[in-house]
Each structure stands twice: as C-alpha cells, then as structure tokens.
Amino acid sequence: MAIEVFNRREQKYRLGRTTFLSLSERLGEYMCLDAHNQTHFTYPICNLYYDTADSHLIRTSLQKPRYKEKLRLRSYGTPTPDSKVYVEIKKKFCGCVNKRRSGILLRDAYAFLADGTAPKGGCGLNEQVLREISYLLSRQRLEPKVYLSYERRAFFGIDDPNIRVSFDTNILTRREDLLLESGNYGEGLLADGEWIMEVKTPSSIPIWLARLLSEYRVYPAGFSKYGREYTKQLAGAAQQQPRRIFAAACTQANTIGGFANV
C-alpha cells in the first residue's frame, strides 16, 4: 500500500546537468532507485495546485511563516477520468513537513475539491485525510490555479528507506486548461539542463550524504515550484503594465485627436 502520511524535513538544492549526473551515480553506493525508475530514467509527476482567487495560500507561503499549507491534486503520468490520483494537503511548521494524502479516482477528486463533499466508502480512500481537506475547503474557497508537471529521478536509502533523494527537471507550468488529463505542456520554469534536488529525511541528514554534498560543493537553495511560478507570473504582469498604460494613453490620444479633427 502506498504511504499516505509523511513527516520529514526537506532541503532543496539547484544543480547543473554535470553535477546531477555525477552525484546521482554516487548515490547508488548508498541508495536504491525508486520503483518508478526501474524501467525509465525519469517518470512524470503532474499537479494541480489549488488556491484562493487572490492566491492567498502561496502569498502566505512566500512570507515564510512558522506555519503554512498547500493543497494539490497529483497524478503519476497523464490520467484518465477513471485513473487513481492523489489529493494531498501539505503543511509545514517550524521546518518540519507533514504531507497527508488519499488515493481517489480523478473524476471523484474534481467533484470533491469543487464542493468539499468527500466520497464515502470507496476502496482505498483515507477518510481521515479527506475530512481534513474538507475542513480546509470549508474555511477557504479554493479553486485550481496552476498546472505544474516535471520529470523525476528518485532514490531511497538502503539502510533507511525513509531517507529519500529526488531530482526534478523539465518543470512545465500553465494557468489555463487546468485539467490533469490534458497532458504535460506549458512554460518552462528552469534553465535547460537544470535540476532541483530535494533531500527528505526523518531528522538530520546522514553523515555519508553530508560528505557527498560537501564533496560536490552543493549548498541549500530554497526553491518552491509553485512559489517560483507565482513570482515569475507577477514579474511578467509587472512588465506588461507599462505597455498597457502606454497603449491606453495612445488610444485616448487618438480618440481626442479624432474629435479635434471633426
């Protein structure tokens, strides 16, 4: 059965292609490949992030409060309406991440997240998690805001499977056609060849991993995929604002000029 409750610490790093290839090869001395990577070098993860109309959840998250939460719908690959996906609520308090999720059919997930009424008695449903998400939906009016997908290569510890290291690349985002079944397309969020590494541990990073990171001169670099997409979207809107003002002024000037020539 897939793990549905996670409590851990997470640290992110940004890597170039060369460092990724070398470091991931060295990890093979201490870690095993995720089952999804046994037949494919990377596997796709697709997400719909839910937020308020004014993006309250991500704006709060970017302020780095002691407590924050996110809600997303996740699939592994492009699903169909009858595919199993996961509704996930992710909370972070004082650096400790708690992620709770439940498997659910995609068509049921859309209905649940639209009105907060959880399906009853379905096979594989984690009803406690669904109740928690229902409570969040009752407190805030949430809607799908961003589609975000990426390719992942992941490892777990040989001696301690709770230690996980994942590498994500080819992050694609869009703010239209917000359906998981529409497939992976959108605007790229990373430079070509760039990877985001995430180290997930129950407590502190093991000595062998700390030594590897030091050897490759890899240092922590905070990176939120949804956060980066939101700030990029804001920057794009800010760049467009002067153009819209200029265009409006030109239109107004032409209209005034037109009346003057009558």
pLDDT (tens digit, 9 = 90+) per residue, 106-144? 999 999 999 998 887 666 789 999 999 999 999 999 999
Q: Give the torsion sign (CA, 203, 100, 47, 228).
A: negative
Residue 176's SS3 state is coil
Q: Exposure string (b/e) for 1-35, b if CB count within 10 Å is 16 or more?
A: eeebebebebebbbbeeebbeebbeebeebbeebe
Q: For residue 222, how far is the Cα from the chain centroid? A: 14
Which helix (H) or strand (E) segment holds residue 226: the answer is: helix 225-260
Instruction: Give the model's pLDDT for residue 7.
Output: 83
All structural domains of the chain, each given as residue ranges with its CATH number in brackets, are 5-260 (2.40.320.10)
User: How confident is the prediction along the chain (262 residues), in pLDDT tens digits per residue?
Assistant: 455 777 889 999 999 999 999 999 999 999 999 999 999 999 999 999 999 999 999 999 999 899 999 999 999 999 999 999 999 999 998 888 999 999 999 999 999 999 998 887 666 789 999 999 999 999 999 999 999 999 999 999 999 999 999 999 999 999 999 999 999 999 999 999 999 999 999 988 999 999 999 999 999 998 999 999 999 999 988 887 655 544 444 554 454 444 333 3
Closest by alpha carbon to 227, among 68, 44, 20, 46? 68
Instruction: Answer whether 159's CB lies under 8 Å from 207's CB.
Output: no
Instruction: Give the model's pLDDT for residue 3.
Output: 59
Name the CA radius of gyration of the chain, rounded. Answer: 22
Q: Give the torsion sign (CA, 131, 82, 178, 92).
A: positive
Instruction: Give the model's pLDDT for residue 244.
Output: 55
